[in-house]
Structure 1
Amino acid sequence: MKNTNNISRIKSITKFVLILPLLTLLLSGCWWEEETKRESITKGWSPKTFFEQAKDQIAAGSMDKGIELYEQLQAAYPGSKYALQSKLEIAYALYKSEDYEQAIDRLNSYIKLYPNHFSTPYAYYLRGIVSEDKSRSILDGVLTDNAQRDVQSVRDAFNYYLALIDKFPKTEYADEAKSRLIILRNILSRHELFVAIFYTRKEANIAAINRTKYIIEKYPNTPSVPAALHLMAHNYDAINADTLAKDTRRVLQKSYPLYTPHYSLDD
């Protein structure tokens, strides 16, 4: 009985010894396949080389090629600092290509994935810049005014900057965001003034009065406030609210004694 057990044990050991080289060969093949696959992704490049090559492509104007290289970098070296930075570089490249929606989507994803990373304040700031530029035209300040267009992207930018200031108040980007908020408030208040003027032209006087009140309450200390007071008085005149018209003009004269109308009610 003992001899039988020994024979069985010897057979098992012999089988294992025979199988071991096959297992080793199989594992070596898997390793080689993984290395070959990795080599095809990395091209033999380091993360830094990938990053620099992508930047060179972007600088040369080859945005699609640059973005493709950044994405290959992320696939090949997902845990590297260059892979992380490349996410922001892609967002910036999309922004410069005027693909604003995708740029904002990338930045939102970055903020969600890395809420407290040292580079995240920049993501917040860039998101605001991208949203601002969505409503711009090269003719603004010459023939057009972005306050006369849809200002939803301006509102978005305003809220993005507020979120940055709230989340990272002591960063340089928060300081810059504060100055951007002043500009955006002026655009938003000017937009409401254009709407009030539109209602006035249509003789929707109550709607116009409500818009001018909104400007004064929501955007105090903006350049549109004296015009809002002046337009409010005009609309009070139109509905024969003489006392309210006089009171409004008194406030206008006291607060802005040098104001002269700069808008027109002509269509």
Structure 2
Amino acid sequence: MQVKHLLLIAILALTAACSSKEVLDENLSEAELYQQAQQDLDNGSYTSAVTKLKALESRYPFGRYAEQAQLELIYANYKNAEPEAARSAAERFIRLHPQHPNVDYAYYLKGLASFDQDRGIVARFLPLDMTKRDPGAARDSYNEFAQLTNRYPNSRYAPDAKQRMIYLRNLLAAYEVHVAHYYLTRHAYVAAANRGRYVVENFQETPAVGDGLAVMVEAYQRLTLDDLAATSLETLKLNYPGHPSLENGEFVPREEAADERSWLAKATLGLIEGDAPPPPSQTQASQDVQRQYQEAVDQMPAELKSSEQGEAQQAPKRSWFSYMTFGLFD
């Protein structure tokens, strides 16, 4: 069968799946609706489970299963790869049932939804450096996990939330280093120095501190602020003697000075550079972030691991053709 025929079949199947809408019997009792929703959850039919849980809540808002249905709707949306819907359902449950014995679970799932928001279908098919992405979802996830650990320190979900907070804090610090490096490439040395100092002052005990110090040294050297550069360099040598920017105890700048750029880089105001700088993924902070993310996924409670995540972890290295076709022919 030709490739175009396979593509046509796939498109038609996807269209039919998206256009299909489950019709529920209006005569189903509350218990029957809840039982069917539970069967869908057990079978991994999360879209169908969401439909039944919403119907149960709307038909029987004061029934015996109403609160449980609201709680399980968060889980069903999360497993169905709908992070915004999961966060919205979690916020609603927290607002309506702040004293519920399982409200800590709602906080936890809300944080997980934000945690995985940037790692959806795109991350499955394309290799992404999370330190280059907009950190908005990471900040949200960190704050939501912080609410859980502060309000419910003895929750069974608190240990996992704390581990994810460590990863997220490292991710946010690595993002700041990435921005600082961008300023260096544009020879905005004051801005780069400020970003590096921000990392050192606000993200202590993260791998990015060494990278922040290296940025400060380079920026201060370019600004001919010799005292500040010397102080930063001594701190870097003392605390991070093995940092990649140090070779035999001597500091090696990452970027060329403004007057050392090629004529093409000068003529285009730096929009077209000569040699591309090393990507942020080569920094210590970025490598540590990637490792910690994998550890956080491995430590997630088994009941919350989606089959998609499990397949992704066990999948062999994919070819360029697989990436180009979004895995359609794998």
TM bracket, shorter-chain basis: 0.7 to 0.9
Q: State yes or no: 1:185 paired with 2:188.
A: no
Tell me by how many angstroms 1:176 deviates. Answer: 2.1
Letter in 2 for 1:129: L
Contact 1:41 1:72 in 2 (8 A): no
1:11-37 per-position Cα deviation (integer Å, ceiling 9, x unaligned): xxxxxxxxxxxxxxxxxxxxxxxxxxx
Q: State yes or no: 1:70 paired with 2:65.
A: no
Tell me by how many angstroms 1:60 deviates. Answer: 4.0
Please show how residues 44-193 of structure 1 align to structure 2 within 5 Å.
Answer: 45-47=29-31, 49-136=32-119, 139=123, 143-193=127-177
Higher RCO structure, 1 or 2 (CA under 8 Å, sep 6+): 2
Counterpart of 1:30 in structure 2 is none
Letter in 2 for 1:108: E
3-state SS, counterpart of residue 260 of structure 1: coil
Contact 1:132 1:154 in 2 (8 A): yes
1:100-151 per-position Cα deviation (integer Å, ceiling 9, x unaligned): 21211111011000111111000001100000111225658x9421120111
3-state SS, counterpart of residue 144 of structure 1: coil
Q: How many residues are aligned here?
A: 225
Counterpart of 2:214 in structure 1 is 230
Tell me by how many angstroms 1:41 deviates. Answer: 4.1
In structure 2, the CA distance between the partners of 1:221 and 1:81, relative to structure 1 (3 Å rule), is farther
Rounded to whole Å, the distance in 1 between the matches of 2:70 and 2:165 is 26
Greater fraction helix: 1
Rounded to whole Å, the distance in 1 between the matches of 2:244 and 2:131 is 21
Rounded to whole Å, the distance in 2 between the matches of 1:106 and 1:135 is 19
In structure 2, the CA distance between the partners of 1:67 and 1:144, relative to structure 1 (3 Å rule), is closer
1:174-228 per-position Cα deviation (integer Å, ceiling 9, x unaligned): 2221111101001000000000000000000000000011111111010011111
1:67-114 per-position Cα deviation (integer Å, ceiling 9, x unaligned): 221123223443345321211222222222322212111110110001
Larger-Rg structure: 1
In structure 2, the CA distance between the partners of 1:264 and 1:99, relative to structure 1 (3 Å rule), is farther
In structure 2, the CA distance between the partners of 1:175 and 1:60, relative to structure 1 (3 Å rule), is closer
Letter in 2 for 1:90: L
Percent identity over the alignment? 32
Rounded to whole Å, the distance in 1 between the matches of 2:254 and 2:82 is 36
Q: State yes or no: 1:244 paired with 2:228.
A: yes
Q: 1:217 aligns with which of 196, 201, 204?
A: 201
Contact 1:42 1:72 in 2 (8 A): no
3-state SS, counterpart of residue 65 of structure 2: helix
Task: Give the root-mean-square deviation of aligned CA atoms.
Answer: 2.3
Structure 2 length-normalised TM: 0.63
Contact 1:42 1:73 in 2 (8 A): no
Letter in 1 for 2:186: K
